[in-house]
Amino acid sequence: MADFFVICSGESTTQVKAIAELIEEKFNEMGIKPLGIEGLKYSHWVLIDYGDIIIHIFKEETRVFYELEKLWIDAKRIQLSEIGGGQEYNQ
Mean pLDDT of 62-89: 75
Report the number of distinct structural domains present in the chain: 1
Does residue 15 have a pLDDT over 90?
yes
- Give the model's pLDDT for residue 32: 96
Strand partners for 56: 7, 47
Looking up residue 8, the CATH number of its domain turns out to be 3.30.460.10
Structure-model confidence comparison of residues 86 and 3, the more confident one: 3
Mean pLDDT of 23-36: 96
Task: Determine the structural domain holding residue 82 and report its residue range.
Answer: 4-90
Mean pLDDT of 28-47: 97
Structure-model confidence comparison of residues 10 and 72, the more confident one: 10
Question: d(Cα 64, Cα 58) in Å, to the nearest integer?
Answer: 9
At CA 23, angle to CA 19 and CA 26, rounded to 5?
135
Question: d(Cα 14, Cα 29) in Å, to the nearest integer?
Answer: 22
